[in-house]
Structure 1
Amino acid sequence: MNIAHTVHKRLGIYLLALLSINACNNSTDDGVPAAGVSAADAGEQEAAGSAENGQIKARSVSQWEEMLRNTSGWIGADGVYAVALNGVETPGKAADTETLFWFSDSIIGEIEEDSLQDGWEMVHNSVGYMQGGEPDPSKIEFSWRKGEQGEAISMFEPRTPGTTEDEYYWLGDGFFNHATDSTIYIFAYKIRNVPGGVYPFEDVGVSLIALPKGSRPPFDDQRQMETPLFIKDSKGRGKVVFGISVMANTAGAGAPKPDGYIYVYGLRGPRKELLVARVPDKAFEDFSQWRYWDGTDWNTDVHSAAALTSRVSNEMSVSFMEDGRVIAAYQLDTNSPTVAIQVGRSPVGPFQPYKAVYETPEIYEDIDFYTYNAKAHPHLSKPGELLISYNVNSFDFIDDIHRHPHHLRPRFITVKY
């Protein structure tokens, strides 16, 4: 492989983890450990890999992991999100529909005798379609675009006005909107290369991708639009990015107490504060109708947004429980070994203290492995459970992708509560 091209790919695979790290400090001003500081270092109890906290039980589910273990074509990725193509997010309902997965950095190539073959490529995102609700390698198909010479190309590339040639997308969460003729919306973080910096890239905006009803790869009918959901610095409290989790509180989505709003969660600053906005489902693309929870009421000023909790991950989930409460799932501090859940009384909280339910064992398989960005997939879960994925990567990516060619793929656990 071309060395310069390899370095660019290597940087891409580190992107979200590095964006999550406060490079200067190991703690924030109020003493909350920042990304990269484990819960154990903070003096807090972590659950083991097969943790059981009271009636809460977490266990690995290898069937989902093996579904993503391929040796030809699409052979690995991170950044996994999913949506039911009938728009129903109720646990236990996936058998009735097809599921669209989207991934961020994805590897295209061949593995023979557990060895990655020359000529492999990396794209910034890809998709997969799964039939039914049970993990089965024969029921999922992966897609990415191809160039004129047959080279692999990212499924989604920035097309909004002002986009420069070196920008690309890291994908956030999305949802199926019954109120806009079954449009699927996906948040896309716009990334730009910045040569010469400590980290030669930066996120510069949040776009919104709209896939019309029935749209299929290569999604030639997609629409893209800029959003006001990226703020470089919110009055000294750090960067704000929305789109890390989306929850449709609608009858069509199967919400227990629908109010007709779409709740979009965001992240602020080095403390990883969780914020929330909402908008009527019919007005989703009208950003003048978006409102931000300020701790008391819904406010037009994004800078007034109140932190619901903190120490969450750059990718996470907030979904409904059967009794109408919500449950957040995330990787503590983005890239620690700890998967945590946190129950809230409503989409805006208040939230109970988090519970550490699982410690990822993959970090002990290689000195350079790390895990990050846990999130739940409610419609793929069973009632009373959460199916949670998390990503595995390596700080020595180029060497380890050859030594351990299957390591870059999501792992899955179920959490009974």
Structure 2
Amino acid sequence: MSTNWTAQAQPHAAPEGLLNAYSDTGKGWTGADSTYSVPLSGGRTAFVFSDTFLGPVNPDGSRPTTTPFINNSFVIEQGGKLKTVTGGTATNPTALVPPPSNGWYWFGAAQTSNAGRNLDVIALRFEKTGPGQWDWHWASNYLARFDSKTFKLRSLKPLPSAANVQWSGWLLRDHGYTYIYGVEDLGSSKYQHVARVRGDDLTAKAWEYWTGSGWSADETASARVLEGVANEHSVTQWGDGYLLVTHDTTELFSKRVLGYFSCSPTGPFVKPVELYQTPETGGNIITYNSHEHPDLRRGNELLVSYNVNSLVSDDLYADVSIYRPRFLTVTLAAAQ
């Protein structure tokens, strides 16, 4: 495939406006990060989120400091209407996967299994290590399986976690396999890893791990494929090859969204092209975890989302519009 491309991006693509308008009502989800999407039966799309604010929203666009905050949620879109799905009750909402006694679960990539009956979400377990704001660490990977109609949690099963890789970056179905893209997060450096399993059930068969030259049953033999990826990124089929979309993590709090190209789902991913620079980045405001939504593509137009947040939590209460995903359409053209 060609690996020389140019990119043009247009911000504020659908469904950004739909989510913003829903957030402004304060009647459910009012902002979150992660922003994976999964097509479901009946023309539905499940948007899969991690840390989530719920309503209400004040008339001036601020949040009450008492607003509920949970670590994972869904927003279901059908026919242009949105519905928030959480655990707990309407008066006492909780995360869809209840937090363990000393931590929480953040959601990663998701897909359906069992002919669409299951909505499977990779859940990362984090544990607190002390009283401070940053005293926590990743502990292990799980698969949270939901009924794709009722969104009730069916099971929470452990996934491979022996190689210091968060196997939650992306899931790609290709030629009878599900490829699982993980990130070895060393703080200042982040490395992509690749595993695969036959079929679409991540818990039914043994995983294999890409060693750089072949596949191994040993998770600790997993090789570093690419440095500079974000914890959440995407690898999708593009033309007769593959496109990786990620925030650039080779620089701190980067505004750069990059696309890499490969002839194989295991890389090497080469010839990065800048897809976009996020205008929100600066001061307290950070952007992160950009990835594609291949099921919401229109022809050759990619739909890419990224998350926006503030390093000062008070900002998120003062202005509801900060902590909401942004969406772009990106048009790639072969370089002449």
- Normalised TM-score (structure 1): 0.72
* Aligned residue among 52, 56, 63 for 2:7: 56
The residue aligned with 2:82 is 140
Residues 93-118 of structure 1: CA deviation (Å, up to 9, x unaligned): xxx82111111111112221223235
The residue aligned with 2:92 is 151
Name the aligned partner's letter for residue 8 of structure 2.
K
The residue aligned with 2:39 is 84
- Where do 1:255-334 residues align within 5 Å? 259-270=175-186, 271-281=189-199, 284-286=202-204, 289-321=206-238, 323-333=239-249
Structure 1 residues 299 and 59, CA gap change in structure 2 (3 angstroms):
same
C-alpha distance in 2, partners of 1:306/1:396?
36
Name the aligned partner's letter for residue 32 of structure 2.
A
Structure 1 residues 308 and 385, CA gap change in structure 2 (3 angstroms):
farther
The residue aligned with 1:354 is 272
- Asked if 1:177 corresponds to 2:113, the answer is yes
Structure 1 residues 280 and 267, CA gap change in structure 2 (3 angstroms):
same
The residue aligned with 1:32 is none
Query: Do the aligned partners of 1:109 and 1:120 also contact (CA within 8 Å) in 2?
Result: yes
Higher gyration radius (CA):
1
C-alpha distance in 2, partners of 1:62/1:243?
25
Alpha-carbon distance, 1:54 to partner = 6.5
Structure 1 residues 76 and 297, CA gap change in structure 2 (3 angstroms):
same
Q: Unaligned 5+ residue runs, structure 2?
A: none
Structure 1 residues 415 and 168, CA gap change in structure 2 (3 angstroms):
same
The residue aligned with 2:30 is 75
> Once structures 1 and 2 are overlaid, which stretch shifts more, 308-317 or 116-125?
116-125
Name the aligned partner's letter for residue 70 of structure 2.
V
The residue aligned with 2:255 is 337
Alpha-carbon distance, 1:62 to partner = 4.6
Name the aligned partner's letter for residue 97 of structure 1.
G
Structure 1 residues 353 and 303, CA gap change in structure 2 (3 angstroms):
farther
Structure 1 residues 300 and 409, CA gap change in structure 2 (3 angstroms):
same
Residues 143-177 of structure 1: CA deviation (Å, up to 9, x unaligned): 22334x9222112225xxxxx41331100101112
Structure with greater helix share of residues: 1
Aligned-pair Cα RMSD in Å: 2.2
- Asked if 1:215 corresponds to 2:149, the answer is yes
The residue aligned with 1:406 is 321
Alpha-carbon distance, 1:283 to partner = 5.7
Name the aligned partner's letter for residue 140 of structure 1.
L
Query: Do the aligned partners of 2:258 and 2:275 also contact (CA within 8 Å) in 1?
Result: yes
Structure 1 residues 110 and 182, CA gap change in structure 2 (3 angstroms):
closer
Identity %: 28
Residues 242-294 of structure 1: CA deviation (Å, up to 9, x unaligned): 12100011xxxxxxxxx21110011124331111111111663135x211111
Alpha-carbon distance, 1:335 to partner = 4.0
Structure 1 residues 104 and 297, CA gap change in structure 2 (3 angstroms):
same
Q: Unaligned 5+ residue runs, structure 1?
A: 1-52, 87-95, 159-163, 250-258
Structure 1 residues 285 and 62, CA gap change in structure 2 (3 angstroms):
closer
Structure with greater strand share of residues: 2
Query: Do the aligned partners of 2:76 and 2:83 also contact (CA within 8 Å) in 1?
Result: yes
Structure 1 residues 351 and 62, CA gap change in structure 2 (3 angstroms):
closer
Structure 1 residues 118 and 273, CA gap change in structure 2 (3 angstroms):
closer
Query: Do the aligned partners of 1:313 and 1:335 also contact (CA within 8 Å) in 2?
Result: no
Query: Do the aligned partners of 2:303 and 2:327 also contact (CA within 8 Å) in 1?
Result: yes
C-alpha distance in 2, partners of 1:171/1:74?
16
- Normalised TM-score (structure 2): 0.88
